[in-house]
Chain A
Amino acid sequence: MALNIKVKSIKVLEGLPRFVYILAVIAALGMSAGLYRLYAGLNDTTNLSTVFPWGLWISFDLTNVAFSGAAFTLSMLVYIFHMHDLHAAVRPTVLFGLLGYSSVLVILFFDLGRWDRFWHFLVYPNLSSALFEVSWCIAIYSGILTFEFLPIILDKFKNAKISKFVEKITVGMVIAGITLSSMHQSSLGSLFVIQIHRLHPLWYSMMQPEFFLVSSMAAGISTIIIGSYVSIWMFKQTLSEKIIEKLGSFVPWIFGLYLLMKLGDLILGSKLELLFTSGILSVLYVAELLLTLAAIIWFSIKKLRSTRKNAVNGALIIAAGIVLNRFDVTWFAMKSLDGSFYFPSLIEIALVVGVACGLIVVYSLAAHFLPVFSETLPVKDLPSSELEVLQLTQPVAGD
């Protein structure tokens, strides 16, 4: 009997890429590292200390939230700006957002000294705390993402009545989602407004909330473009070049605004001199600016953004700029009290890698059982010119 069930469950999983099983093992190892941390405390398991109380986990969380901004950015374009031609990207993106935020919450849980009290923000309010606000916004927004994910589940069960109701209130939910996203994306920047004595002046700015908010939209677009490429070999599904081109066309505007704000902050804050006098930190800051500028130029050129491969390379430039920025703010440009350099422990790294792998596993399972890619383009339907560029040898039946 037991064997029967086992065989059946394996059959159900047929067609799932093999390496997902490997990722599942890594995820399990990562979670065990996390559980061990809960048992042993932070001192023996992490390199966090009084001189550097937040580490890799916080850097990962902030980066992840930026990339998960894909969900609110896309739903804004599709539902608010009526760009229904982008609709095919909604389901895969909403799923990524949902899982992205969930993984942030998982890591935060392991980061707390009193993880058993993770729910305390619900009953102990402090309205002036950016972290309190972020907690609430992410909690509610996760609910909204779940709602936006509902049509995928309802599709499977074909309940017309509920589907219609869901459709009716979608726009309201999307507006609420964008509002909450604007709040928590910017509030993550507010976290650093109080750290004037801690964060390097090149990065310290009253505009930090706005920097994070604006850049999260570009991060979101890079997520979608890179995701559409990954899904080619993971799920044999992708987005049309037309959609990718259109998404890419917003990057120069978003990053253009971001770069202007950054430069304005440098000039108005009379920080230009620091660009040359801060050693390695100057290099990191200039690298951020150059990556931003490179992405602006890349996506301004229609030829580059309208072919899949070039657009993905451009999206990788965006992603590099975002990762560098979030790691700079939370880690490299953050003063350690005794001047020593923090580097994460193996367990810290294991948990992050494990949670990231777990995200891919859950995504794959969801895509396996639910019509996540119901509106996307099957790889076999791609024009043959594209298949050649992608070097995909597609066995064509009857040819």
Chain B
Amino acid sequence: MAKYGFLIDASRCIDCRACLVACSVENNVPMKSTRIWIKDSGVTGEFPNLERYTAPFHCMHCIDPSCVSACTVGALQKNEDGIITYDNEACIGCRYCMYACPFEVPHFEWSKQFALITKCDLCVSRLAEGQKEPACAATCPTDAIQFGSRGDMLAMAHERIRSQPERYVEHIFGEHENGGTSTFYISPVSFDQLGFPTAETTDSPAHFNRIATEEGTPIIAAGAAIGMTGIYLALEHNGKKQAVRKTEHAEDKHDTAGKE
């Protein structure tokens, strides 16, 4: 079950990038590492009423994650708390997850000789040590990133939109996207404007993938094996019968020839 959740509020984000620093320090990865980055609406409006909104973006930790369904070697897994973890000991760097994820989250270490995927793991080791929050949420000075139970975060998102309808568009990004995630965004401008990826709001592609791989393929395999065996045996049987008939026919001829 998805235990944890994020609520990320674009109206509170001041683009200070403290979350990027915190992530870099916590996970011992370079600053330019791509576990967390900033989505930016760019400057909009007319002078002097200019507006610009930003929001930190990282793995959404989907309820039914496409990446987990796709990963060739099962390096991506959903743990019992609903966190999508990444095993850098198993990954072969095939980059299938980059195509599977509708949120464009998995990134690849293109410059490295031995290159792996980079992805937010919700500071799973930090939580295991008993700390309450992942580094980004703990650091955020404006509470743009909040962390708690998934249910609380979703309720809080709904509450904020309800109590301040003039401040937010009526859309909680992540509530239904990709069949539901553990990260909820609310924003004063549309998510399209913020440069968010568009994701299907019905089932996760993982669902369609399972139909193809767990139902389609076995059916095709069974069909091929049984069909081919059946056709082979039928034709073999037929061929033998014909051969027998032919020899019988020849014998008949031989017999009549003998009588004459």
Contacts and interface: CB of A to CB of B under 8 A. Distances in A.
A190 B213 contact: yes
Interface string B190-227: 00000001111000011011111110110011011100
A113 interface: yes
B209 A53 contact: no
A179 B115 contact: no
A122 to B, nearest CB: 9
Nearest to B93: A113
Given A82-B235, A194-B69, A53 B99 contact: yes
Interface string B46-89: 00000000000000000000100111111100000000000000
Given A124-B75, A182-B224, A193 B217 contact: no
A209 B232 contact: no
Contacts of B221: 179, 182-183
B31 interface: no
A393 to B, nearest CB: 44
A304 interface: no
Nearest to B96: A131
B29 interface: no
A182 B69 CA distance: 21
5 contacts: A53-B98, A80-B228, A80-B232, A82-B239, A183-B217
A132 interface: yes
B70 A179 contact: no
Interface string A188-232: 011101111110000000101100010000000000000000000
A227 to B, nearest CB: 24
Given A40-B113, A112-B93, A190 B209 contact: yes
B113 A209 contact: no
Given A44-B111, A121-B73, A196-B205, 20 more contacts: A43-B110, A81-B235, A113-B112, A118-B92, A124-B90, A127-B214, A130-B217, A175-B225, A175-B232, A178-B224, A181-B224, A182-B223, A190-B217, A191-B96, A194-B70, A195-B205, A197-B200, A197-B205, A209-B212, A209-B220
Interface hub of B93, B197, B212 (most chain A Cβ within 10 A):
B212
Give me the 6 closest cross-chain CB pairs, A-B, nearest first: A113-B93, A113-B115, A126-B74, A124-B73, A43-B110, A182-B224
B229 interface: yes
Contact of A114 (B91, B213, B216, B225): B91
A281 interface: no
A206 B213 contact: no
Interface hub of B66, B71, B92, B231 (most chain A Cβ within 10 A):
B92
Contacts of B108: 50, 53, 113
B71 A206 contact: no
A179 to B, nearest CB: 4
A128 interface: yes
Contacts of A115: 93
A399 interface: no
B15 to A, nearest CB: 21
Nearest to B218: A183
A133 interface: yes
A265 to B, nearest CB: 14
B110 to A, nearest CB: 4
A39 interface: yes
Contacts of B200: 196-197
B109 interface: yes
B115 A193 contact: no
A133 B213 contact: yes
Interface of A: 38-44, 48-50, 53-54, 76, 79-82, 111-118, 120-121, 124-133, 135, 171, 174-176, 178-179, 181-183, 186-187, 189-191, 193-198, 206, 208-209, 213, 337
Contact of A129 (B71, B116, B223): B71
A20 B142 CA distance: 69
B144 interface: no
Contacts of A213: 220
Category for how many chain B residues contact A: 35 or more
B73 A132 contact: yes
B225 A179 contact: yes
A129 B213 contact: yes
A337 B71 CA distance: 20
A43 B228 CA distance: 46
B176 interface: no
Given A113-B93, A128-B213, A190-B213, A54 B70 contact: no
B217 A209 contact: yes
B10 interface: no
A175 B71 CA distance: 29
A116 B220 contact: no
A292 to B, nearest CB: 22
Contacts of B228: 76, 80, 174-175, 178-179
B159 interface: no
A76 B102 CA distance: 40
Contacts of B248: none
A176 B70 CA distance: 26
A169 to B, nearest CB: 13
Interface in B94-138: 94-96, 98-100, 102, 104, 107-117
A127 B115 CA distance: 24
Contacts of B252: none
B251 interface: no
B92 A120 contact: yes
Contacts of A127: 213-214
Given A112-B92, A113-B115, A127-B214, A198 B70 contact: no
A186 B220 contact: yes
Given A112-B93, A197-B199, A187 B110 contact: no
B236 interface: yes
